[in-house]
Amino acid sequence: MNRKGKINQRLRRALVTGVALCGVLLQGSAVLAQTLEVEIQIREHLFYPSEVRIPSKTKVKLIIRNLDATPEEFESYELNREKVIVGNSQGIVFIGPLEPGEYPFFGEFNPRTAQGKVIVE
Amino acid sequence: MISAVIIVLREVLEGVLMICMLMASASAMGHRLRWLPVALALGFVGAFSYAVFLEQISMAFEGLGQEIISASLLLAVAVLLIVHNFLAARHASLPEASAPALAVLGVCVAASAMSMSREGAEIYLYVYAFGVQAGEMASVLSGAAIGAGIGLSLGTFMYYGLRALPWRTCLWVSAGIATITGAGLVMQATYYLGQADILPGQAALWDSSSLVAESSLTGELLQAALGYEATPTAVQLSLYAASILAALGAMALARASVRTREISK
């Protein structure tokens, strides 16, 4: 086999292994439970409630309603979430399953006032 | 004003560094920078349209339009960076076998414009709502200018730093930067896919936030440069690794293709 053929074969083998690995990882983490929904409102650049309690190891659907006229960005380093919610609209953000602990979030456009945290119990 | 500085700097940093790397790389391949105004114009139009239609975009795909568009843009740029690596490695290995200008510049323009659209939209929304509508033009605009200025200075450093290298070294270093940047973009795409529940949530493999917090300055810089994640999951880590392997594979392929061409001569 020539050199090019060998390289191609090696690349193909690496690709197949990679895809198979991803498949296994995805399958292992499938969550079957029904999704819990939690609503958070943004009013006057503040989050209501500012503390959201959710159970551990559970997927949760956060529904974020922005009642202000200005846009806000829901952001969290700990949750790896980032979503712009324009004024007078709402957005969905899925989080979890998470380990117990505190996961702060903030509004990037008003970081000093708009702060909150997800408490996983 | 401080929040305007931070918001704008965070948004521009990643894009500016990538665009400056592409500028250096395209120049090293012998192309002039005439593609840049085209990319900037398309980027501005993209950012403006994204911002104006954000509400409709958000509502699309059952409320997950923003995530799907962001992830698609991120992954598209990551693929373009892999193509860039192929082109750069080919040119560095055998300049006579370099790809046509249209291919090189097309990649530069598309990657830059897509990156700007995503980041620029947020800046536009912020400046419009909290500057123009709130009548705080002076403080928001000066903050934004400082943030953009810091980002552009870092980009300028990068551009001239890369240009100071011999052209071949410049191409290999640029391709190295593109490899890491691309993997970082793939990492970000996994956040959006997780947020939309397209990619399943998983337990993190480790937590290095006590070492380097993502919210710290070092963390922010590492995130912009490497796609640093304090609590990566197995899926994220494998996609990150796959992206690096694909970028290196593209370079190996380019070198191999040039070598067979040389042998057959």
Is-contact B110 B87, C-beta < 8 A? no
Mutation pick from B59, B64, B125 vs chain A, by most beta carbons of A within 10 Å, is B125
Query: Beta strands of A1-121 (E only): which ranges?
Result: 36-43, 46-48, 51-54, 60-66, 72-76, 81-85, 89-95, 101-107, 115-120
Closest partner CB to B202 (pick from A29, A70, A85) = A29
Q: Is the pLDDT of residue A21 over 70?
A: no
| A37 CB-side CA count, 13 A | 6
* Mean pLDDT of the B149-166 span: 96
Cα→Cα distances A120→A3, A54, A74, B213, B264, Å: 55, 5, 18, 20, 64
The pLDDT value recorded for residue A31 is 46
The pLDDT value recorded for residue A39 is 97
Q: Tokens representing B184?
A: 């970082």
* Mean pLDDT of the B79-85 span: 98
| Chain-chain contact of A7 with B256 (C-beta, under 8 angstroms) | yes
The pLDDT value recorded for residue B235 is 93
| Chain-chain contact of B130 with A109 (C-beta, under 8 angstroms) | yes
Confidence label for A7 from pLDDT (cuts 50, 70 and 90): low
Q: Min CA distance, A88 vs chain B (Å)?
A: 10
User: For residue B28, which of B129, B197, B162 has the smallest C-alpha distance?
Assistant: B162
Confidence label for B203 from pLDDT (cuts 50, 70 and 90): confident
The pLDDT value recorded for residue B134 is 83
- When divided into structural domains, chain B yields a total of 1
The pLDDT value recorded for residue B226 is 86
Q: Is the pLDDT of residue B39 over 70?
A: yes
* Mean pLDDT of the B112-127 span: 94
Confidence label for B6 from pLDDT (cuts 50, 70 and 90): confident
| Chain-chain contact of B194 with A94 (C-beta, under 8 angstroms) | yes
Neighboring chain B residues of A77 at a CB cutoff of 8 Å: 213-215, 219, 230
Q: State phi, psi for B131 to the nearest 5 degrees.
A: -100, -65
Q: Is the pLDDT of residue A25 over 90?
A: no
| B96 CB-side CA count, 13 A | 5
Domain coordinates in residue numbering, chain A: 1-30, 36-120
The pLDDT value recorded for residue B191 is 94
Structural domain of B102: 2-264
Mean pLDDT of chain B: 93
% of residues, chain B, pLDDT over 70: 100
Neighboring chain A residues of B58 at a CB cutoff of 8 Å: 84-86, 89, 91
Q: Tokens representing B50?
A: 């994204």
Fold of A36-120: Immunoglobulin-like (2.60.40)
Q: Is the pLDDT of residue A33 over 60?
A: no
ipTM of the complex: 0.85
Contacts of B211 (CB under 8 A, 6+ apart): B230
For A60-113, the pLDDT digits (tens) are: 999 999 999 999 999 999 999 999 999 999 999 999 899 999 999 999 999 889
* Mean pLDDT of the B56-78 span: 95
Is-contact A35 A59, C-beta < 8 A? yes
The pLDDT value recorded for residue A28 is 46
